Amino acid sequence: MNWDIYRKLLSYVRPYKGRLFVSVIASIGVAGSDAAAAKLVQPFIDWIVVEARADLLSYVPFIVIGLASFKGISRYVQEYFIRTAGQLVMFDLRNEVFGHTLALSMRYFSRVSSGTVMSRILNDITIMQASVAEVLVGLLKEVLTLVSLTVVAFYADWKMALMAFVVLPLTAWPASAIGKRIKSYSKKGQTAMGELTAALEQSMSGIKVIKAFGTEQKEYDKFEAENRSFYSFFRKVIKYDAASSPVMEILLSLGGAAVIWYGLHRVFEGKMTQGELFSILAAVMFMYTPAKKLSKLYNRIQQAIGAAERVFELRAEPVEIHDTSDAVAMPRVRGEIVFDRVGFSYGDEQVLEDFSFTAAPGEVVALVGASGAGKSTVAGLLNRFYDVSEGSVRVDGTDIREVTLDSLRANLALVDQETFLFNESVRNNVLYGCPEAEDSKLNDAIDQAYAREFIEQLPQGVETGIGNRGVRLSGGQRQRICIARAILRDAPILILDEATSALDTESEAMVQKALQNLMHNRTTLVIAHRLSTVMHADKILVLDKGKIVEQGRHDQLVAQDGLYRRLYTMQFQNGNEE
C-alpha cells in the first residue's frame, strides 16, 4: 500500500523536477564539504599538530572559512529549491483535492461531516506539507552525505570502516518497527482531528442555539473529549518518535566503540598515524550523524504516509454526478419539466416510486405533503444533485443526464430554506450567480426583491459585510438577498424549497411580494409546508411516501375528501393561517 502512496506523491513531484535537479547538485556540494572536512583532519593532525609545520598555519583559516562558505551556500540553494518544490506539490494537491471534493455528489456530503472533509484538506495536507518538505530536504542531503563519508572511511581503512558500517543494518529493524507504530497512531490522530474539527465547526455554526439553551459547558465537555482523544494518539506518536534517537545512539555506539578500540591498537602498533585515526574517526562520527537523521526522517515519512492515505482516500471517492462523454450544452430553455416514472432511493430507503408529472413553461407547480414525503428530493433530482434510479427527468424534452451540468444549472435558480449567504458584502452575495452583471441590473434585482430599504440602512449600503452566513441580517432580509441573487441569475426555471418556512408573518408577506416578481414568466417548482403559499399555484401535487396521491388546483383539492384537505384543515382550523 505504501508503494502506491509513494508513486502517487511522486506523480505530483514530477512537474518540479528542475528544482529537484538544482537541489541535488547543491546537496552534492553539502555532502562534499563534509567529506572534505573529514579527509582534511589527517593532514591537519599529522602535518600541523604532530610535525609542527608552521608554514601551513596561514592556510588553515582560509580552508575553514572557504569550506564553511561553500557548504553554507550549497545548503541554502539546496533547501530553497527543495522546500519550494515541496510547497508547490502540496499547493497542487490541496487545489486538486478541493476541486474533487466540490465535484462529489450531495449523497457523499449527507454521510460525511463537513468537519471531516475540512480536516483532510487542511490538517492532513498540512502534516504532509511539513513532512514532505522535511523529508525532501533531509533525504537528499543525508543520503549523499552518508555515501560520501562512507567512501572516505573505506578509502582510509576498509577494515575499520566495515566495523563502523556493519551496525547500520542493525538499526533498520527498530527503525521500521517504530515507524509503523508512528504511522498507525498518526493516522488515528488525524481521524481524531477530523472529529475535533467537526465539533468545532458545529459549535461555531450553532453558537446562537448553544447560547440560547445555555449549553456552553456541554459543548465544552464534548470538545474537550475530542481534544483529549487527539492528544492521546499524538502522545504515542511523540513517545515512539522520541525513542528512536536513543535506540539509534545505543546501536551506533557499538560500531563507534569497535572502531576506537581497533584504531588505537593500530596506532600503538605503529601501523597507523594519529592523523589517519582521527580522520577515520571523524568520517565515522560524521557518517553516524546522517544515519541518525535518516531514522528521524523515516518517522516523518510514516507520518506523511498516514496523512497521505487519508487524503488519497478522499481523492479516490467516485464522482457520481458528472458529464457523460457525449454530453451537449443545453441552450436557454422554454422551461418544460417532465418527471417520467422516476424512482429514487438513498441506499435501502426508497424515497420516490413511479413518480410522474409535467410542468408546462411558465407554470407554477407546488409540491406539498408531510415531512419525508420526498418533496425536497424532487428539487435535488431536477438540479442533478443526485441521479434517478429509474425513469428520467427531462427539460424541454431532453434528459438532463445528456447535457452538461454547467448548462443545466445555468437554466435553474434555487431559493432554499437555508438562505445560505457568504461572509462577504451584500453586493458580492447578490452577484454570486452572475458576477459579470452591471450595476443597473444589480440594482434592479435588489428593487424587485424589495431589499432596497434595508440595504440602504446598512453602514456601507451594498458594500456592507454581512458576517458568517449573513448573521447581521434578519431571516426576512437574508431571504430577500437570496431572492435578489436568483432574480439576477435570470434563469427560466425557478425552484423554491420551503422559501418562507422560517419567517414570521410580516417578513413572509414581504418575501411573498418579492417571490411574485421572481416567479414572473418562469416555470416554478414550489416546495412548501405552509399551504397558504401555494393556494394560487397552477397545479398542486400532494405527495405521500414518495408517490403523488392527489393533484389539482387548491379549490379542487379542498373539495375532495383527501390528504390535501386534511392538511389544509389542520393548518387553518385555529386561524393559524390567513
Chain-centre distance for alpha carbon 183:
20
Only one residue has cell 517504530, namely 178
pLDDT higher than 70, residue 168: no
Percent residues over pLDDT 90 in the chain: 11
Confidence of residue 399 (pLDDT cuts 50, 70, 90): very high
CATH topology of domain 2-315: ABC transporter transmembrane region fold (1.20.1560)
Quote the CA–CA distance of 3 and 259 in Å, as a whole number.
Answer: 37
Residue identified by cell 601501523 is: 271
pLDDT exceeds 70 at position 2: no
Distance CA 462, CA 484 (A): 12
Residue of higher predicted confidence among 150 and 236 = 236
Contacts of 99 (CB under 8 A, 6+ apart): none
Grid look-up 439553551 returns 213
**DSSP H or E stretch at residue 295:** helix 274-315
Cβ-contact 131, 300 below 8 angstroms = yes
170 CB-near residues (< 8 Å, 6+ apart): 251, 254
Residue 323 and residue 327: Cα distance in Å, rounded? 6
Q: Are the C-beta atoms of residues 127 and 303 closer than 8 Å to each other?
A: yes
Closest by Cα among 480, 493, 481, 335 to 413:
493
pLDDT digits (tens, 9 = 90+) for 120-153: 888 888 877 766 666 766 777 777 777 777 777 7
Residue 351, CB-side half-sphere exposure with 13 Å CA sphere: 18
pLDDT for position 500: 61
Q: What is the pLDDT of residue 86?
A: 81
β-strand partners of 497: 416, 527
Question: How many Å separate Cα 463 from the centre of its chain?
Answer: 30
AA letter at 201 = E
Chain segment 190-230, per-residue pLDDT in tens = 788 778 887 877 777 677 667 766 788 888 888 888 888 88
φ/ψ (deg, to 5) at 151: -60, -45
* Residue pLDDT, tens place only, 344-375: 988 777 889 889 999 999 998 999 888 778 88
Let me know the angle formed at the C-alpha of 251 by 246 and 256, rounded to the nearest 5 degrees.
Answer: 115
- What b/e readout covers 426-464, taking b as 16+ CB neighbours within 10 angstroms? bbbbbbbbbeebeeebbeebbebbbbbebbeebeeebeb
- DSSP secondary structure code for residue 374 in this structure: S
Under 8 Å between Cβ of 338 and 358: yes
Mean pLDDT of 322-343: 92
Q: Is the pLDDT of residue 336 over 90?
A: yes
Segment 444-489, tens digit of pLDDT: 888 888 888 888 988 898 898 887 777 788 877 888 888 888 888 8
pLDDT grade, residue 499 (50/70/90)? low
Where is pLDDT greater, at 464 or 259? 464
pLDDT band at 427 (very low <50, low <70, confident <90, very high): very high
* Conformational region of residue 538, where left means phi above 0, alpha means psi within -120 to 50, and beta covers everything else: alpha
Query: What is the distance between the alpha carbons of residues 387 and 398, in angstroms, rounded to a whole number?
Result: 15
pLDDT of residue 1: 47
Cell numbers for 137, please give them: 530536504
Is residue 188's pLDDT more than 50?
yes
DSSP 385: S
